[in-house]
Amino acid sequence: MADLSSTREAEIAAFLAANGLAEAVREPLAGDASARRYERLRKADGGTLILVDTPAPADDLVPFIAIGTELAGIGLSVPTVIASDVERGLAIQDDFGSETFSRLLADGADPQPLYEMATDALIVLHHGLPEGAAGRLALPVYDPALFIAQTRLFIDAYVPVALGHPLSEQDRSDFDTAWRTVLEPVCAGAPSLLLRDYHVDNLMRLPRPAVRAAGLIDFQSAGWGPRAYDLVSLLEDARRDVAPDLADAMVVRYLAAFPDTDAAAFRRAMAVLGAARHTRIVAIFVRLALSQGRRSYLVHLPRVWRLLEAQLAKPELGPVAAWFDRHLPPEDRAAFVVPETI
């Protein structure tokens, strides 16, 4: 049997050759928590493109192309897919460069204009996709059941390690009930396109005017759901502290664009969705450390727990906070550290 890596390399080489890029110099780019890989392709004329290599094209490349088409249609900047082989999970897209918002912030850039661009992109998105987009985009609907199913990773991947034993079926059922109580009001409104991983690592500054200066690069896991989710994803970042006054200014900026929105209800939705997101991220980071040895994610755990605790203190999270107090005392939360022996 041929070596899988050599077989994949042959497929990539053939794909590049078929698109006139056989001589392009390939440079691996840093990845994320997914199995997707990127390479920068340097052409003989000095131009660059991006090679996308994914093992799950039906769940990854196909929605990326479809969603990108819709986002470009409302004036947002997304990578143009120049060529693709969906069956093999390969694509070539234009290169947005290296100015991610996170890199710019690390280099000392003023955060205000960057977060304003990111917030304005959400405003454009939430003012509406072209007619028929919901029918064209067969995406999951983030209703209470789906949010609960995803948040349940916390009691599967985190709690048994933190406590040293799994929870009972009753405890698990109570977890679901608590989350359902707080999620149902939040999910009651009309859904919007929910990008899900909307934060500074997935935004790039481009030399384009107005909102098009914000390049969106990671949206293949999108769905339909409450529009508060992406704003809280941006402002309560698992990997980066956002100043409270800046975060609040962005919420005010967003709400000003939707004067008919109930501001108090929107902020409650941000709290509930933020808590659900943080709960799942705690579990994801620990699972990555345990199953893949990717301990670098653990450095973010204290921040995620701080964000989660702040939301649990709000009255709209009362049922969930009561569950945490009952089944996961404070000493078993942020203090938890994955053993060095993994």
Looking at residue 32, its pLDDT comes to 59
What is the C-alpha separation between 311 and 308, in angstroms, rounded? 5
Quick check: 146 pLDDT over 70?
yes
Quick check: 31 pLDDT over 80?
no
Is there a contact between 195 and 216 (Cβ–Cβ < 8 Å)?
Answer: yes
Looking at residue 92, its pLDDT comes to 98
Task: Indicate the pLDDT class of residue 334, thresholds 50, 70 and 90.
Answer: low
312: three-class secondary structure by DSSP: helix
The string of pLDDT tens digits covering residues 231-259 is 999 999 999 999 999 999 999 999 999 99
Question: pTM for this structure?
Answer: 0.92
Find all residues with CB under 8 Å of 186, minimum gap 6, and list them.
226, 228, 268, 269, 272, 273
Q: Give the residue with greater pLDDT, 107 vs 331.
A: 107
Strands 25-28 and 90-94: unpaired
The string of pLDDT tens digits covering residues 174-224 is 999 999 999 999 999 889 999 999 999 999 999 999 999 999 999 999 999
Q: Give the residue with greater pLDDT, 293 vs 144.
A: 144
What is the C-alpha separation between 266 and 255, in angstroms, rounded? 9
Looking at residue 1, its pLDDT comes to 38
Q: Give the residue with greater pLDDT, 4 vs 50.
A: 50
Quick check: 342 pLDDT over 50?
no
Least confident residue range of 52-61, 158-167, 291-300: 291-300
DSSP character at residue 263: H
As a whole number, the mean pLDDT across the chain is 92
Quick check: 15 pLDDT over 80?
yes
Quick check: 53 pLDDT over 60?
yes
Looking at residue 132, its pLDDT comes to 84
Quick check: 34 pLDDT over 70?
no
Is there a contact between 84 and 90 (Cβ–Cβ < 8 Å)?
Answer: yes
Q: Give the residue with greater pLDDT, 324 vs 30.
A: 324
Looking at residue 336, its pLDDT comes to 55
Quick check: 2 pLDDT over 80?
no
Looking at residue 290, its pLDDT comes to 80
Find all residues with CB under 8 Å of 73, minimum gap 6, and list them.
129, 130
Angle between helices 228-235 and 263-292 (to 10 degrees): 60
Q: Is 331 exposed, middle or buried (0-12, 13-18, 19+ CB in 10 A)?
A: exposed
**CA-wise closest residue to 124 among 232, 230, 223, 240:** 230
Q: Give the residue with greater pLDDT, 131 vs 6.
A: 6
Is there a contact between 124 and 72 (Cβ–Cβ < 8 Å)?
Answer: no
The string of pLDDT tens digits covering residues 79-108 is 999 999 999 999 999 999 999 999 999 999
Looking at residue 140, its pLDDT comes to 95
Quick check: 341 pLDDT over 70?
no
The string of pLDDT tens digits covering residues 265-301 is 999 999 999 999 999 999 999 888 887 777 787 889 9
The string of pLDDT tens digits covering residues 172-181 is 999 999 999 9
